[in-house]
Amino acid sequence: MSDDSQDELDLPAGGEESESPEKSGNAKAPLASNYQSWFLDYASYVILDRAVPALNDGLKPVQRRIMYSLNELDDGRYNKVANVVGHAMRYHPHGDASIYSAMVGMGQRNLLIDTQGNWGNTLTGDGAAAARYIEARLSPFAREVVFNPKTTNWQLSYDGRNKEPINLPVKFPLLLAEGCEGIAVGLACKILPHNFNEIIDAAIAYLNKEEFELYPDFETGGVADFTNYNDGLRGGRILVRAVFEKLSKYQIAIREIPFGCTTGSLIDSIISANSKGKIKIKKIEDNTSDKAEILITLPPGSDADATIDALYVFTDCQVSIAPNSCIIENDTPYFLPVSEILQRSTDNVKGLLKRELEIKLAELEEKWHFDSLERIFIEERIYRRIEECETWEAVISEIHKGLDPFKSQLKREVTDDDVARLTEIRIKRISKYNSFKANEEIKKTEKGIRETKRHLRSLVKFTIAYFEALKEKYGKGRERRTRIESFETIKAAEVALPTEKLYVNREDGFIGFSLKKDEFLCECSQLDDVIAFSSDGTFRVSRVADKVFMGKDIVHVAVWKKGDEETIYDMVYRDGPRGSSFVKRFVVNAVTRDKVYDLTKGSKGSRVHYFRANADGSTRPIKVRLTPTCSARIKEFDFDLGELTVKGRASKGNLLTKYAIKSVRAHFNTEL
């Protein structure tokens, strides 16, 4: 609870700074307004002090305190992590567990912290050893980029006993390099890590007023499609895939895994998909050490390419990641695109470099001033003027008088503090004073002043040179690991392997995997659709399952693909109990699943005489035999279905005969 919240509790009811329960509408719940205030205080605290990183230095508060503690303990040697955690607890009120967890995450990213010992494995998901067993120190990059007490703003720690930085003066877009993920109250943050060298290239391009593009890069490698990255904002989505290698006809290997996965979680997803019948594998082995290697052995007869496509669809071999770029600036959360974070971070680096140059210039000018003052004081033997002085005021006055003829050579006025410093010069230094060396030192300082002023005049150029030096010094070995490609959408139904056996009970009208005592139909996948035509001239399409009703007295059933225009159906049906018979050829390319469609004219009692599905679109003549008692002169005739135009399923068809039909058969088919 914040101090402000506590003050609100102490206010008397009806006071000037709070409304009475009656006025606030909470007469029956007088503490409601206080609870609301407490919740808002807590939400604000979690957002600002725990879950979301600051834009200026790219760090969450716990990460900032870890870095500051490492800097305070830094003597070039490794420190036990337990010692660092204990030191950081002076500034962080949440205990050792959260500090240890955050420090392990930072160490595994291998940028700010130089680690020693078992820090876990991001590929396998193995955790780090206990804090008392592992060690850490600042990396050379962190020492150069993160700290400068002269440009750091300070605040008191939570208990008021120590001071800590408000933000560290980080001279690099650290937030984009490290990435960040956090969940606060009503707000989440997910900034993906980007490539070190590409961040520097983008910063230089921005300083040169050139266009740039910046996409994430993951330590685990993989292949990513950033088409819908949306510059890291909400609503964006990227796809990341594992990298496969075909070792043999029936063995494939996963060499790189998607971001956010471990080999363990990836294997679990593959085993789960196999047990559900979505893919077929024979054996899986994890040989991961410093590099990922998962060996997958396929059963005989498998297609490696088809299996890889199925792995992308049904397992974590392809993951979808939704970025949500949120930062804290001036104690307020903002949603900023990655490109703007890069721009603002680069501007911040330029501002920090400017402050450092200004501080350096002031220090050089102060050094020049005192060195010049010291030269005059010694070379002109002004120190002898104070031999007869009896008071401090007389000493100061006499030195000022001695310096008066030479003050025009100086760049600022001589103060009493300057004079006091002159009196602190030891006799030994005066006796060994070398005018030549002193002049050389002053010239060296003047050169530094001119150089610093030149850098300030060309600040953009100086900042670009700074970034180039960082890339040259620390960019080696940090090349892009995640390849950028554009993926084609793989539909699950197209890559689902036929791992199930489908059965049919034509009389009762059921299909399913569980009807093992009935007629075997075919092998199919769990995502397939089945189309079934009944003897009453109706049909429906349903998703396969253990048991599905498709309509009684099935005359044709098969696996059906949406948009199928190659399969042409031939059908002869009787309209009603005693009506004429019609013939039609049609396709079924779009339907609503589980809806019953009528292929006849709709008369009750209609019945199918003949039905055939032609997968290749070809057809054959049929032989029509009429009933012996009908009045037709010709009781048997042939009809060429190929003469009919193929129409949609709603077509009623052409009149075949008005007489009663006994049977219809094809030359290669049996009577129905």
What amino acid occupies position 168?
L
Q: Please give the Cα distance from 515 to 172 (Å, whole number).
A: 66
Give Cβ neighbours of residue 618 (< 8 Å, ≥ 6 apart).
none
Vertex 228, ends 227 and 230: CA angle to 5°? Answer: 120
CA–CA distances in Å: residue 26 to residues 57, 73, 211, 537, 592: 44, 53, 56, 68, 53
Checking phi first, is residue 131 left (phi over 0); if not, alpha (psi -120 to 50) or beta? Answer: alpha
Six-digit token pair at 342? 């890069």
What does each C-alpha distance from 638 to 399, 571, 618, 657 come to in angstroms?
133, 15, 17, 12
User: Other C-beta atoms within 10 Å of 94: how many?
Assistant: 14
Q: Are 67 and 142 in contact (CB under 8 A)?
A: yes
User: How distant, in Å, are the alpha carbons of 60, 138, 169, 238, 335 from that of 54?
Assistant: 6, 21, 12, 24, 12
- Cite the DSSP H helix spans in 128-195: 140-145, 174-178
Burial environment of residue 299 by CB neighbours within 10 A (0 to 12, 13 to 18, 19 or more): exposed
Nearest C-alpha neighbor of 402 from the set 425, 374, 382, 379: 382
Beta bridge partners of 665: 623
**Catalytic (active site) residue 503:** no
Please give the torsion angle defined by the CA atoms of residues 86, 92, 94 and 97, in that order, rounded to the nearest 10 degrees. -40
Bridge partner residues of 625 (DSSP):
636, 663
Residue type, 397: S
Task: State the Cα–Cα distance between residues 66 and 16, nearest whole angstrom.
Answer: 44
* Residue whose structure tokens are 């000018």: 365
**CA atoms of 180 and 556, how far apart (whole Å):** 57
Determine the 3-state secondary structure of 139 from DSSP.
coil
Distance set, CA 71 to CA 5, 84, 215, 666 (Å): 35, 10, 31, 90
To 10 degrees, what angle do helices 459-474 and 338-379 make?
Answer: 100
Q: Which of 536, 564, 541 is nearest to 552 (CA)?
A: 536
The residue to which tokens 């005969």 are assigned:
657
The count of other CB atoms within 10 Å of the CB of residue 209 is: 7
Query: Quick check: helix, strand or coil at residue 231?
Result: helix
Contacts of 287 (CB under 8 A, 6+ apart): 293, 294, 295
Catalytic residue among 35, 42, 68, 133: 133
Cα→Cα distances 76→60, 73, 114, 136, 146, Å: 25, 9, 11, 10, 16
Contacts of 388 (CB under 8 A, 6+ apart): none
Q: Which residues are catalytic?
A: 133
